[in-house]
Amino acid sequence: MAASSIRPDVRQFLDYVESLNRPKGYEVGAEGARKMMVASRHAFERAAREIAVVRNIAGPVPLRLYDAREERTPGPLLLFIHGGGWVIGDLDTHEPFCIDLAIELDVPVVAVDYRLAPEFPFPAAFEDSVAAARWVASAPAELGRAPTGLFLAGDSAGGNLAAAVAVSCRDEPAAVPILGQWLIYPAADPRGHYASYDEFSQGHLLTKESMDWFEDSYAGPKDDWRYSPLLKGAEGLPPTFVVTAGLDPIRDQGRAYAARCAEAGVETIYWEAPGTIHGFLNLRKGIPSANEDFARCLEYMKPWVERAR
């Protein structure tokens, strides 16, 4: 893609990050990379808004509940699984985004703090995510909410995990139905080698070296559906909304996943944010145009949420 197709604020952001001459995550190791992601949140993401409920929950794994209402009648709930290549990211790195989802969609949001690689390689992240989904679906007293159904959402590696959880809950249903999945620039088909990988794996924030490090750390076998969920087919999956970035090396994984869902008769929305990069929805201060992208995503999600009430 020609440089002219990059949004001006994306180009400015990439030039600024390059000028910092910081070490790369794969160069400083997992702990150093995790600290860098926390610092990135404070530098490039919008500040967290005030919200009525922010509460840590000791479930099968650490969870955090966000809700714009102190109390809530039974209704849909959104389970969010963070990205970070299965190696970095936590409840804090994605907190502003989760709070905005809870406010703008007017649903409780529960964020999942799954175990990270390389200390806990595959399938730990999947096992934690599916355990969290099934536990939340059971409306435990600790949650203080009575979900009538779950929306699954996740970005990047979290999108991979959300898709795998959707397959698990399709094949062995949870206590309440999965109402839909929102996969945000997901690592949706790790088995494949796609053109976008070759085209954008240098100079667009997410690089080949970083992706190799993430995949090696997680050590997910590409012939296992828990890592490549399309191995078990898309038939019968819940309504699916896939968002990709036009300049993302894993863009075509999301394209392929959405196409497979549509071919299988799944209610599918696919939207590609043009001229921007992987991670843009968590870079809304560094890339101001991402705020418009977020608003557009909400336009797609709100009817699904309202339909589920």
Q: If we measure between CA atoms, which residue out of 124, 293, 162 comes closest to residue 238? A: 162
For 161-201, the pLDDT digits (tens) are: 999 999 999 999 999 999 999 999 999 999 888 999 999 99
* Both tokens assigned to 183: 């996969």
pLDDT of residue 208 exceeding 80, the answer is yes
Q: Which of these is catalytic: 82, 94, 204, 278?
A: 278
pLDDT of residue 2 exceeding 80, the answer is no
For residue 86, the model assigns a pLDDT of 98
Please tell me the distance from the alpha carbon of residue 298 to that of residue 81, in angstroms, as a whole number.
17
Taking residues 206-211, report their average pLDDT. 96
For residue 193, the model assigns a pLDDT of 87
- The whole-chain average pLDDT of the chain stands at 96
For residue 303, the model assigns a pLDDT of 97
- 213: number of Cβ within 10 Å: 21
* Domains with residue ranges and CATH for the chain: 3-308 (3.40.50.1820)
Q: Which of these is catalytic: 129, 156, 168, 201?
A: 156
Residues 6 or more apart whose Cβ sits within 8 Å of residue 131: 59, 60, 61
Q: Which of these is catalytic: 128, 155, 248, 293?
A: 248
Please tell me the distance from the alpha carbon of residue 259 to that of residue 300, in angstroms, as a whole number.
18
For 226-253, the pLDDT digits (tens) are: 999 999 999 999 999 999 999 999 999 9
* Both tokens assigned to 274: 């043009």
For 51-87, the pLDDT digits (tens) are: 999 999 999 999 999 999 999 999 999 999 999 999 9
For residue 192, the model assigns a pLDDT of 85
Buried b (16+ CB within 10 A) or exposed e, 58-77: ebbbbbbbbbbeeebeebbb
Are 18 and 73 in contact by the 8 Å Cβ rule? The answer is no
Its pTM surpasses 0.95: yes
pLDDT of residue 3 exceeding 70, the answer is no
278 is a catalytic site residue: yes
